Structure 1
């Protein structure tokens, strides 16, 4: 056995699959999400899997900074670049050390086509023609593992939630500036509010899964699923910046879409991934409906800028 081989169950090599927005059968050896490297501005990708926790943390930092730096410099200005730089330092000094037992790099294996399709899935889930299950494959030792995001649109990632969170904070600052209320404290307030909402959603989703008899979902999977809410919130705030009268219309649509995404995701975790759930129970209908309904007040609270 090669001592340098990556034995983490979450790690995947390139494999087959298909684009669930376009359909079609799997094509061996070809990624359904585009080229493995993932070109395009703001989509820098690690050159490959690097063994070891320290190397994985360094690769994560490179992904975060490299993927966002060009986007920030071209669109968000000095404030966005400062926030991204601070976030990179925070990840390096705090976050990575808590996940040395996880393959954090797995959640950043994305490319530009995956990001586009993921955004379409989050903002227009009713038009999604494919399935909602994750793609699996067998590895050498016989284990069944999930393909990384670049090969599977239904896989959780942390790139989209983190970029959505950063965009949310910056857009809140822009909205406050247009209303002549911008101060540095505005960014801090919205940053804290976003973290609180993210944490509350994570706790609720974890609690609901336990209540339904399944507590096996990986922590970072739930962090990713709950972080997708910032995509819809960012779109809502952007609509307010462009045309304020559109805000509540966009808010209602994005909250509804996020509610559907949460229901589909939790059903998949319960029925396909955990396999410890009693399908005859009627509790899941009410709990799933409650989780979907909570997306509306959470999005409204995040988007409330004391206008």
Structure 2
């Protein structure tokens, strides 16, 4: 701002320079009062909570323990849920026992199939034990298994579909009816055997799974008979099925007599002769039922 004094000279009033805090008005000034750290304020590393230079105090201290606690609690919850599920599942479905019936290998399956089709030369039918526990099927050909029955049931359904297709009768509905019928008859057979064992009061180590395994072996003969009939005609079907029926009858007699009749022999004189005869008749009835089911479930599949 200019003004004139008494001598006539014009004077300029000097304005004080205002220096802003934190910066220098002179661009050439090499030494600011302090460095600009605004770029680091509130800087946050999203790869980890509280790792940035501007993180809140205690944030890094709280984040890591909370993460570890959450992971530990989640792992504990998952393991506890798995334990409860296995415990409740094993109550209704004996998973540990089922593992025993599927403990097979290729050698066992081949020998067992040969035994089911040609059991006449086999001598030793006793199941081997190790410390009062039966050995796994892959180590003993006489041990019952579920691998062959399950695989035989599925193969029988597929072969039945093929046979119905050659007759121009195939449809998903008919194939479902065929599978349901075979399954229902298997359940009826097993329940009838268990009821008969209960009524005759037979003390045996036969279990429900054992009976399912023994009843499921007949599907092997059924498959062989149907395939032979599809390839060579109905006469060959009857001859092949007759052989397989006789084989499964002998197999069941020689297998079940050690489970049912051996208890009667152990009791000796304490058991009446009539009760012993009932056990013998029951064994023969179970064995004789196998050929009946084999014919009933296959005769309509071969027409020529």
Q: 1:166 aligns with which of 122, 139, 154?
A: 154
**Is the CA contact 2:225–2:244 (under 8 Å) kept in the aligned structure 1?**
yes
Q: Secondary structure at the match of 1:217?
A: coil
Distance 2:213 2:232 in 1: 30
Q: Residues 238, 289 of structure 1: CA spacing in aligned structure 2 closer, same or farther, 3 A cutoff? A: same
Cα deviation, residue 150, structure 1? 0.3
Q: 2:103 aligns with which of 93, 109, 116?
A: 109
Deviations 1:203-250 (A, max 9, x none): 232233332523542221111111111111111111111112211111
Q: Residues 212, 231 of structure 1: CA spacing in aligned structure 2 closer, same or farther, 3 A cutoff? A: farther
Q: 1:287 aligns with which of 275, 282, 302?
A: 282
CA RMSD in angstroms, aligned pairs only: 2.7
What is the match of residue 125 of structure 2? 132
Is 2:175 the counterpart of 1:191? Answer: no
**Is the CA contact 1:132–1:265 (under 8 Å) kept in the aligned structure 2?**
yes
Cα deviation, residue 266, structure 1? 1.5
Is 2:259 the counterpart of 1:269? Answer: yes
**Is the CA contact 2:202–2:263 (under 8 Å) kept in the aligned structure 1?**
no
What is the match of residue 66 of structure 1? none
Deviations 1:85-142 (A, max 9, x none): xxxxxxxxxx9773246421111110011001101111111122x311100112xxxx
Cα deviation, residue 271, structure 1? 4.4
What is the match of residue 230 of structure 2? 241
**Is the CA contact 2:215–2:290 (under 8 Å) kept in the aligned structure 1?**
no
Distance 1:110 1:145 in 2: 17
**Is the CA contact 1:137–1:146 (under 8 Å) kept in the aligned structure 2?**
yes
What is the match of residue 297 of structure 2? 302
TM-score (norm 2): 0.63
Correspondences of 1:1-307 after superposition (within 5 Å): 98-100=92-94, 102-128=96-122, 130-138=123-131, 144-210=132-198, 211=200, 213-214=202-203, 216-244=205-233, 245-272=235-262, 278=271, 280=273, 281-305=276-300, 307=303
Greater alpha carbon shift after TM alignment, 236-245 vs 211-220: 211-220
Distance 1:96 1:302 in 2: 33
Instruction: Give the count of matched residue pairs.
Output: 211
Deviations 1:246-274 (A, max 9, x none): 11111111111111111122111124579
Distance 1:101 1:167 in 2: 24
Q: Secondary structure at the match of 2:212?
A: helix
Q: Residues 299, 103 of structure 1: CA spacing in aligned structure 2 closer, same or farther, 3 A cutoff? A: same
**Is the CA contact 2:119–2:251 (under 8 Å) kept in the aligned structure 1?**
yes
**Is the CA contact 1:135–1:146 (under 8 Å) kept in the aligned structure 2?**
yes
Distance 2:272 2:134 in 1: 24
Q: Which has the higher contact order (CA 8 A, sep 6+)?
A: 1
Q: Residues 96, 161 of structure 1: CA spacing in aligned structure 2 closer, same or farther, 3 A cutoff? A: farther
Distance 1:279 1:110 in 2: 40
Q: Residues 173, 266 of structure 1: CA spacing in aligned structure 2 closer, same or farther, 3 A cutoff? A: same
Q: Secondary structure at the match of 2:126?
A: coil
Please list every run of at least 4 consecutive aligned residues from structure 1 whose deviation after the TM superposition is greater than 6 angstroms: none
Cα deviation, residue 186, structure 1? 2.3
- Quick check: which has more Rg, 1 or 2? 2
| Unpaired segments ≥5 residues, structure 2 | 1-81
